[in-house]
Chains A and B, each alone.
Chain A
Amino acid sequence: MSQLVRIRFTLNGRPQSVKVPPMKRLLDVLREDCRMTGTKEGCGEGECGACTVLIAGDPVNSCLVPAVHAEGAKITTVEGLAKNGKLSALQTAFIELGGAQCGMCTPGMLVTSAALLARTKGRVPGDAEVRDALSGTLCRCTGYQKIVEAVQAAAAPAPAKKKAAAVAKKAKPVAKKKVVAKKKVVAKKKAVAQKKAAASRAGRRPGASKQARRPAASQRRGRR
């Protein structure tokens, strides 16, 4: 048995304190120690994004993060999106527009989309921008179409309950240039260690930007 360490962090706005092995995956800490099973495991190797949570507002694959890295962090999971039982606009849009089918990718999709919408601050992101932001989270059910529509619908000013398709059309031209800028910033912030992983896939998956927010492969020791 490895030694246990005490780790403190904020989970969905509430202070948490757990005693766990330092290299335990954050995913397991959340699911087992904090009993928040909304965050899912789809691959355990940083590929599917089902385990995505927000750390300081940025999407991170929690299966690649060792517990020690969570010390002092502000973590948001899917359970933290509704406020006092009231669903966020994003959650409502996912239900109404068909963004969730089997639901396994949904927690990851929702927190990643929430991070995107926090960045765009009320501006409706374009089709390509949404697809790019979500490319680190795999969905096998929806073909992504309805997820993109739901994210765009949720970005529209609050009371407007327009059809997503209409929103999408209007939004397209505005967004494109800003995507590039954003991508560069994100990419710069991240460590060199990810480059290898990125290179192995970049050839096969043009446009997949998820590596940009994926912790290094060397952090994967926390795996079961």
Chain B
Amino acid sequence: MARSRTASPERPARKTITLPASVGVNVPRKDGRDKVTGAALYLDDLRVPGVLHGRTVRSTVANARIVSVTLDPAFDWTGMTVVDHRDIPGENCVAVIERDQPMLASTHVRHVDEPILLLAHEDAERVEAAVSAVKIEYEPLTPALNLEESLEKKALVRGDDNVFKTIRIERGDLDEAFVRSDRVIEGEYWCGHQEQLYIENNAMLAERTKDGGIHIRGSMQCPYYVHGALQVLLNLPPEKVRIEQTVTGGGFGGKEDYPSVIGGHAALLAWKSGRPVKIVYDRLEDLAATTKRHPARVRIKTGVMNDGTLVALDADVVMDGGAYLTLTPVVLSRGAIHAGGCYRWDAARIFARAVATNTPPNGAFRGFGAPQTLFAIESHMDRIAAELGMDPLALRRKNAVKLGDVTPTGQVLKESVGSHEVLERTAKRAKYAEKRARYERENAAAEAAERAGKGAKDGRRLRRGIGMALAMHGAGFTGSGESKLNSLAALDLTPDGRPCVRISNTEIGQGTNTVFGQIVGEVLGIPHEQVLVHVPDTDHVPDSGPTVASRTLMVVGGLIEKCAKKMKEKLELFAEHPIEGGADFARIAKRWLKERGPLRVEQRYQKPTGIEWDDDTYQGDAYGVFAYAAIAVEVEVDLDTAETKLLHVTTAQDIGRAIHPVLCAGQIEGGTLQGLGWALMEEVRHKDGKVWNHQLTNYIIPTSADAPPIDVEIVEIPYSNGPWGAKGVGELPMDVPAPAVIAAIAHATGCRLDEIPATPERLMRALQRRGA
């Protein structure tokens, strides 16, 4: 890992940023000790006396009317709690953006594995046996199982056109721009579902409280999402619903909206039985039933000049949302805004639709729609370069956005634009030009040798290639999202005089708690270990918004920085001297508590000035700022088995400022490998609407042996509204690997795939088509 700090060229020199001591330092992570000793308690590790084990009875057909539900009389139902839609005290829905998804199906099922009935029993084995003692009779209806069938209206899953949401982004005179172009180049790109595959499956525990409310604990990213959904489901006021996060074994978006479903189920069982109920999915159920990345088809038509200048972009994006709306409109929105990639266009039109199908609802997954459209535009850039006979790097150099350029939504890039920096650094670090030439030479020599009957001794026909990709990723919520969230963060003093961060943003592995300790420690001038971060628990923390969209550090971190400044000011005024380190802070804090009582400071989100967005026209500042990533991927393809081996990956990413470089690099490396997996091996296959490869044996993610060495360079071009200049890092790394893999395969074999994953089967077919 390397770092390079670049003074923001657009900012006057007098605004030098001072580099404080804790921020920017790799302190040991707060939860590190618990995690390496096995002491960290995940939901399934909790011992709860009298707990019942919950199970979900799910549909086996994709689209049907439910005729009857019968409990087999031959089965012993003693001690079994059975819940169906009639047991729901409030509204039968999973309240997210809309309320279209039932918590339990009543008359219809719209996808395979839709929940119909819930069971709970003391004995985990008995409840499992009971699942098959529930007989459900269906009257099957024709389903629409993929986005093409949905567009053809093979079945009506939603409204009269199956469309969840349409977005149009238009800028400039497109017709004129196409007329002016030397060439028009078109392409169509496909990408499939992807499972988040956090290693801890979804898990929730629900208990009724003495005051007539509900207390939910579990693995989640967004306690307040569950909080909202449960109020509607149980018809309870906010103060009667308490949601508490337990140590969470990964999320990646997969625990953004789904916890409302499993949490709702556990709550219904607890509500009816009066006992604590735990639902812990096994891998099969988690893979089959929970949300995935939206599959997408992207058609791109571009007008370009012979010298490589991009002129016109016409993009048509379709995403498959699954059977219910969940977060689909927002996913589509991010996908649409990113569809133009990291480039300047004189004119652009982006038309994006999300459609409904009879498959399990898709939801959030790292990148949130952007990786799909970026895969398309980046693959298309490689195609343009090939058709113009230009080097793909040179094409990107020519067109990548610069300070002052305007995006398709009309956003002027005012600061912290790292596009060229990450591109050049990646190319240099990866020795891109040299390797590109070398691999071409070697491939040509190998081919000539094989023709002459003098191939490699082991008979293998191997080819190598290197491919690049570049992307920008909007940090934080889209458009007016952050303003609507109206996040509130708080900092207070514990009785023993330690500062305690109160936010609803969750530690899911990314290191949030550690970084918040650093921020507060830094401002107060005390060791980061002295800072506590409260467990996200809706009874004890304010709603600082969800843990999504790479917003936690950039947005909430900024709020906490302000809180810490306020606390410092108060305590220093009170003490009549500056805080001098940890011990002094503790003394002052204790004296304050004794003389003045509790101390709590709060900060609400305030929209930075100069950011305007119009939801109706989709024009304006889509994000406060963008983060930038470039990647170079090297592969080796076996022409006979069509297997692709990852040799090396180099990536430079501009994230504004790395508060904790090791954690940031960890995000980049982890996200990169998820992207590589999506590009090469991760494929969710359906049969009649059911996920058939819902096992780790056949849904394959990269192992340490598949993973290449990943060389990371962190570029720091500060953002004026982020704490110490930081921009979001969580999702960015997911954007670039897939198109770079496809470009590298094309470089190695001359064979360009327009669909991922590039499994050996798919690549083999493509190689055969062109007679390799």
A140-B198, A143-B673 are known contacts. Are A135 and B703 too (CB-CB below 8 A)?
yes
Against B, the Cβ 8 Å flags (1 = close, 0 = not) of A131-175 are 110111111111111111000000000000000010000000000
A42-B283, A82-B37, A102-B508 are known contacts. Are A224 and B125 too (CB-CB below 8 A)?
yes
Determine if A189 is an interface residue (Cβ-Cβ < 8 Å).
no
Determine if B128 is an interface residue (Cβ-Cβ < 8 Å).
yes
In the bound assembly, the distance between CA atoms of A204 and B644 in angstroms comes to 10
Q: Determine the chain A residues whose CB is within 8 A of the CB of B508 once the complex forms.
A: 102
Q: Determine the chain A residues whose CB is within 8 A of the CB of B666 once the complex forms.
A: 98, 101, 141-143, 146
Q: Determine the chain B residues whose CB is within 8 A of the CB of A42 once the complex forms.
A: 199-201, 283, 696
Contact of B38 among A36, A41, A208 (CB under 8 A): A36
**Can you list 30 A-B contacts with CB-CB less than 8 angstroms, sorted by A residue number?**
A37-B41, A37-B44, A45-B695, A79-B38, A87-B36, A94-B32, A95-B36, A100-B35, A102-B198, A102-B250, A103-B35, A127-B709, A131-B705, A132-B704, A136-B703, A139-B199, A140-B197, A140-B199, A140-B670, A140-B674, A140-B701, A141-B670, A143-B666, A143-B673, A143-B710, A145-B665, A148-B704, A200-B697, A204-B681, A209-B705
B509→A141 contact, CB < 8 A? yes
In the bound assembly, the distance between CA atoms of A107 and B200 in angstroms comes to 13
A95 nearest CB neighbor, chain B only = B32
Determine if A110 is an interface residue (Cβ-Cβ < 8 Å).
yes
Q: Determine the chain B residues whose CB is within 8 A of the CB of A187 once the complex forms.
A: none
B28→A96 contact, CB < 8 A? yes
A134→B704 contact, CB < 8 A? yes
In the bound assembly, the distance between CA atoms of A136 and B706 in angstroms comes to 11
| A57-95 interface with B by 8 A CB criterion | 77-79, 81-82, 87, 91, 94-95
Q: Determine the chain A residues whose CB is within 8 A of the CB of B248 once the complex forms.
A: 102
In the bound assembly, the distance between CA atoms of A106 and B666 in angstroms comes to 14
A106→B703 contact, CB < 8 A? no
Determine if A6 is an interface residue (Cβ-Cβ < 8 Å).
no
A104→B36 contact, CB < 8 A? no
B199 nearest CB neighbor, chain A only = A104
A98-B663, A100-B32, A140-B674 are known contacts. Are A208 and B703 too (CB-CB below 8 A)?
yes
Interface residue ranges, B against A (CB under 8 Å): 1, 26, 28-29, 31-42, 44-45, 47, 124-125, 128, 196-201, 247-252, 282-283, 508-511, 641, 643, 645, 662-663, 665-666, 669-674, 681, 695-697, 700-701, 703-707, 709-710, 712, 760
**Taking each of A44, A101, A144, which has the highest tally of chain B beta carbons within 10 Å of its own beta carbon?**
A101
Determine if A22 is an interface residue (Cβ-Cβ < 8 Å).
no
A138→B199 contact, CB < 8 A? yes
Contact of A145 among B47, B663, B710 (CB under 8 A): B710
A47-B697, A204-B681, A207-B706 are known contacts. Are A78 and B38 too (CB-CB below 8 A)?
yes
A97-B662, A103-B31, A146-B669 are known contacts. Are A205 and B700 too (CB-CB below 8 A)?
yes
B643→A206 contact, CB < 8 A? yes
**Taking each of B1, B39, B703, which has the highest tally of chain A beta carbons within 10 Å of its own beta carbon?**
B703
A135→B705 contact, CB < 8 A? yes
Determine if A201 is an interface residue (Cβ-Cβ < 8 Å).
yes
A224 nearest CB neighbor, chain B only = B124
A39→B672 contact, CB < 8 A? no
Tell me the number of A-to-B contacts counted with CB atoms below 8 Å: 197
Determine if A50 is an interface residue (Cβ-Cβ < 8 Å).
yes
Contact of A130 among B201, B282, B283, B704 (CB under 8 A): B704
**Taking each of A82, A96, A97, A103, which has the highest tally of chain B beta carbons within 10 Å of its own beta carbon?**
A103
A47-B695, A78-B37, A205-B706 are known contacts. Are A165 and B1 too (CB-CB below 8 A)?
yes
In the bound assembly, the distance between CA atoms of A207 and B704 in angstroms comes to 9
In the bound assembly, the distance between CA atoms of A106 and B705 in angstroms comes to 17
In the bound assembly, the distance between CA atoms of A137 and B45 in angstroms comes to 20
B249→A102 contact, CB < 8 A? yes
Closest chain-A Cβ to B199's Cβ sits at a distance in Å of: 4
In the bound assembly, the distance between CA atoms of A49 and B760 in angstroms comes to 26
B38→A131 contact, CB < 8 A? no
A50→B199 contact, CB < 8 A? yes
Determine if A5 is an interface residue (Cβ-Cβ < 8 Å).
no
Closest chain-B Cβ to A83's Cβ sits at a distance in Å of: 11
In the bound assembly, the distance between CA atoms of A146 and B665 in angstroms comes to 9
A78-B38, A101-B666, A140-B198 are known contacts. Are A45 and B705 too (CB-CB below 8 A)?
no
In the bound assembly, the distance between CA atoms of A180 and B573 in angstroms comes to 67
Determine if A105 is an interface residue (Cβ-Cβ < 8 Å).
yes
**Taking each of B47, B673, B704, which has the highest tally of chain A beta carbons within 10 Å of its own beta carbon?**
B704
A106→B681 contact, CB < 8 A? no
In the bound assembly, the distance between CA atoms of A26 and B576 in angstroms comes to 61
Q: Determine the chain B residues whose CB is within 8 A of the CB of A142 once the complex forms.
A: 666, 669-670
Can you name 17 extra interface pairs (CB under 8 A) apart from A40-B200, A82-B37?
Answer: A38-B37, A38-B39, A39-B38, A40-B199, A50-B199, A79-B38, A98-B662, A100-B29, A127-B709, A136-B703, A137-B704, A138-B199, A140-B250, A141-B250, A146-B669, A165-B1, A201-B700
Q: Determine the chain B residues whose CB is within 8 A of the CB of A104 once the complex forms.
A: 42, 198-200, 249-250
**Taking each of A45, A81, A100, A110, which has the highest tally of chain B beta carbons within 10 Å of its own beta carbon?**
A100
Tally of A interface residues using CB under 8 Å = 67
A147→B28 contact, CB < 8 A? no
Cβ-closest 6 pairs across A and B: A38-B38, A102-B509, A207-B705, A103-B35, A104-B249, A143-B669
A81-B37, A102-B508, A140-B252 are known contacts. Are A41 and B44 too (CB-CB below 8 A)?
yes
B38→A107 contact, CB < 8 A? yes
Determine if A212 is an interface residue (Cβ-Cβ < 8 Å).
no
Q: Determine the chain A residues whose CB is within 8 A of the CB of B671 once the complex forms.
A: 143
Q: Determine the chain B residues whose CB is within 8 A of the CB of A82 once the complex forms.
A: 37
**Taking each of A148, A203, A205, which has the highest tally of chain B beta carbons within 10 Å of its own beta carbon?**
A205
In the bound assembly, the distance between CA atoms of A146 and B645 in angstroms comes to 21
A45-B283, A50-B199 are known contacts. Are A144 and B704 too (CB-CB below 8 A)?
yes
Determine if A117 is an interface residue (Cβ-Cβ < 8 Å).
no
Q: Determine the chain B residues whose CB is within 8 A of the CB of A118 once the complex forms.
A: none
Q: Determine the chain A residues whose CB is within 8 A of the CB of B282 once the complex forms.
A: 43-44, 224
In the bound assembly, the distance between CA atoms of A94 and B511 in angstroms comes to 14
Q: Determine the chain A residues whose CB is within 8 A of the CB of B33 once the complex forms.
A: 87, 95
A77 nearest CB neighbor, chain B only = B38
In the bound assembly, the distance between CA atoms of A47 and B698 in angstroms comes to 10
B36→A110 contact, CB < 8 A? yes
Determine if A29 is an interface residue (Cβ-Cβ < 8 Å).
no
B695→A135 contact, CB < 8 A? no
Closest chain-B Cβ to A16's Cβ sits at a distance in Å of: 16
A163 nearest CB neighbor, chain B only = B1
A36-B38, A146-B669, A206-B643 are known contacts. Are A131 and B198 too (CB-CB below 8 A)?
no
B38→A47 contact, CB < 8 A? no
| A95-128 interface with B by 8 A CB criterion | 95-98, 100-107, 110, 127
| A1-46 interface with B by 8 A CB criterion | 31, 35-45
Determine if A48 is an interface residue (Cβ-Cβ < 8 Å).
yes
B707 nearest CB neighbor, chain A only = A144
Closest chain-B Cβ to A9's Cβ sits at a distance in Å of: 18
Q: Determine the chain A residues whose CB is within 8 A of the CB of B249 once the complex forms.
A: 40, 102-104
In the bound assembly, the distance between CA atoms of A91 and B37 in angstroms comes to 8
B36→A100 contact, CB < 8 A? yes
Q: Determine the chain B residues whose CB is within 8 A of the CB of A207 once the complex forms.
A: 703, 705-706
Q: Determine the chain A residues whose CB is within 8 A of the CB of B47 once the complex forms.
A: 35
Closest chain-A Cβ to B68's Cβ sits at a distance in Å of: 30
Closest chain-B Cβ to A224's Cβ sits at a distance in Å of: 6
In the bound assembly, the distance between CA atoms of A104 and B97 in angstroms comes to 31
In the bound assembly, the distance between CA atoms of A224 and B704 in angstroms comes to 29
Closest chain-B Cβ to A202's Cβ sits at a distance in Å of: 11
B704→A135 contact, CB < 8 A? yes
**Taking each of A139, A142, A145, which has the highest tally of chain B beta carbons within 10 Å of its own beta carbon?**
A145
Closest chain-B Cβ to A165's Cβ sits at a distance in Å of: 7
| A186-224 interface with B by 8 A CB criterion | 200-201, 203-210, 224
Closest chain-B Cβ to A124's Cβ sits at a distance in Å of: 16
A143→B707 contact, CB < 8 A? yes
B700→A204 contact, CB < 8 A? yes
A147→B38 contact, CB < 8 A? no
Q: Determine the chain A residues whose CB is within 8 A of the CB of B645 once the complex forms.
A: 206
